[in-house]
């Protein structure tokens, strides 16, 4: 195994943005495996799900929204707490920033550390980082389990269907349009980041998403899935990766192997199947480290700091 550049420091190529309509009320902002943003245009207002990483980057989302509607952007939804999803929120001037209570709790517990960690990992994705306001991006309203918003006559459900990518994961569901914005619970052709994951819970949470029977789904990364068959494929891809990582790591832990050996064995095992997915090299050290902890009995993810990131990377990749 050759030494790799840290995290996404080798990922410097700009991605092509696609802004496409999925249904009467739903739009998707996607960028070839970079973090996606979902847009719901109701009768009297707009909702944005996931904000981009900085206000400077959010400005491009807003520019595209303004090509199709002049309705006010009243709501921003944080599908989870990661900085790359939330730090652009201030650009929208929304009346309410909505998140699960678990997501707010994670911001309280580890938001500052995560912010420093992610900015260090993703230099390209934090373009215009100087436009991020000081401090944290805080929800103005939280919920547990389910919240329903009405954008005029358009029903939007915020659902917490289980732990997976984080303990606070929220999906945005349009029951009439049958469109689902999954956040990073689902990826398509992109490697799930699992540094804050609950590996044993994630497959059941994906089953709960599938039970909604979405006709279309916008994953956290990757192209918008515009048919039920593609939705099923996205769910299956994500389930397969999460299950394969955890099975390999569990076997290594059961055999008494140390983290470095388990990482190398798991990387070599998964690379032929998933190695061409976006951010595979970036995610694997974080994913295997968290899976190793969970398989060893550490129930909740440890906090990633910028310092811990570097130490882990040097330990596993040097």
Torsion of CA 259, 260, 261, 262, to 10 degrees: 40
Count of other CB atoms within 10 angstroms of residue 236: 12
Helix and strand element counts for the chain (H, E)? 8, 12
Would you state the pLDDT for residue 10? 56
Q: Which helix (H) or strand (E) holds 157?
A: strand 154-159
Nearest to 171 by CA among 186, 183, 162, 188: 183
Per the CB < 8 A criterion, the answer to whether 151 and 45 are in contact is yes
pLDDT of residue 14: 80
Residue with token string 């547990």: 144
Give the closest residue to 184 by CA, choosing from 176, 192, 175.
192
Crossing angle of helices 306-317/280-295, nearest 10°? 100
**Closest by Cα among 69, 56, 8 to 33:** 8
Helix intervals (H) in 32-150: 55-65, 83-86, 101-121
Torsion 140-299-169-307 (CA) sign: positive
How far apart CA 303 and CA 13 sit, in angstroms, is: 29
Distance CA 40, CA 196 (A): 28
CA–CA separation, 94 and 31 (whole Å): 23
Alpha carbons within 13 A on the beta-carbon side of 33: 18
Q: At 261, phi and psi to the nearest 5? A: -70, -45
Q: Is 277 exposed, middle or buried (0-12, 13-18, 19+ CB in 10 A)?
A: buried
CATH architecture of 18-317: 4-Layer Sandwich (3.60)
Per-residue pLDDT in tens (0 to 9) along the chain, 318 residues: 445 776 555 556 788 999 999 999 999 999 999 999 999 999 999 999 999 999 999 999 999 999 999 999 999 999 999 999 999 999 999 999 999 999 999 999 999 999 999 998 888 888 888 999 988 999 999 999 999 999 999 999 999 999 999 999 999 999 999 999 999 999 999 999 999 999 999 999 999 999 999 999 999 999 999 999 999 999 999 999 999 999 999 999 999 999 999 999 999 999 999 999 999 999 999 999 999 999 999 999 999 999 999 999 999 998
Residue 258 corresponds to which tokens in the numbers above? 């140390």
Q: Three-state secondary structure along 45-58?
A: CEEEECCCCCHHHH
> How many whole angstroms separate alpha carbon 116 and alpha carbon 33?
22
């Amino acid at each position: 195994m050759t030494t790799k550049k840290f995290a996404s420091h080798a990922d410097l190529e700009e991605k092509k943005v696609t802004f496409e309509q999925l249904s009467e009320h739903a739009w998707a902002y996607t960028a070839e495996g970079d973090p996606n943003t979902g847009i719901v245009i109701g009768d009297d207002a707009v909702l944005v799900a996931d904000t981009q990483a900085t206000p400077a980057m959010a400005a491009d989302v807003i520019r595209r929204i303004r090509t199709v509607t002049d309705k006010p952007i009243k709501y921003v939804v944080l599908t989870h707490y990661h900085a790359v999803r939330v730090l652009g929120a201030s650009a929208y001037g929304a009346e309410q920033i909505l998140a699960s209570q678990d997501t707010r709790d994670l911001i309280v517990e580890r938001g500052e550390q995560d912010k420093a960690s992610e900015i260090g990992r993703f230099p390209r994705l934090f373009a215009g980082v100087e436009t991020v306001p000081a401090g944290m991006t805080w929800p103005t309203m939280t919920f547990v389990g389910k919240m329903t918003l009405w954008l005029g006559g358009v029903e939007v459900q915020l659902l917490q269907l289980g732990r997976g990518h984080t303990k606070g994961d929220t999906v945005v569901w349009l029951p009439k349009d049958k469109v689902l914005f999954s956040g990073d619970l689902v990826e398509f052709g992109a490697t799930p980041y699992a540094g804050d994951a609950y590996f044993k819970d994630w497959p059941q949470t994906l089953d709960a998403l599938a039970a909604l029977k979405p006709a279309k789904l916008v994953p956290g990364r990757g192209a918008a899935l515009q048919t039920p068959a593609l939705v099923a494929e996205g769910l299956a891809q994500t389930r397969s990766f999460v299950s394969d990582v955890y099975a390999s790591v569990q076997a290594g832990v059961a055999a008494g192997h140390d983290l470095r050996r388990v990482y190398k064995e798991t990387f070599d095992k998964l690379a032929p199947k998933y190695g061409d997915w976006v951010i595979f090299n970036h995610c694997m050290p974080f994913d295997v480290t968290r899976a190793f902890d969970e398989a060893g009995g550490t129930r909740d993810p440890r906090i990633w700091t910028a310092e811990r990131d570097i130490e882990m990377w040097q330990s596993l990749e040097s």
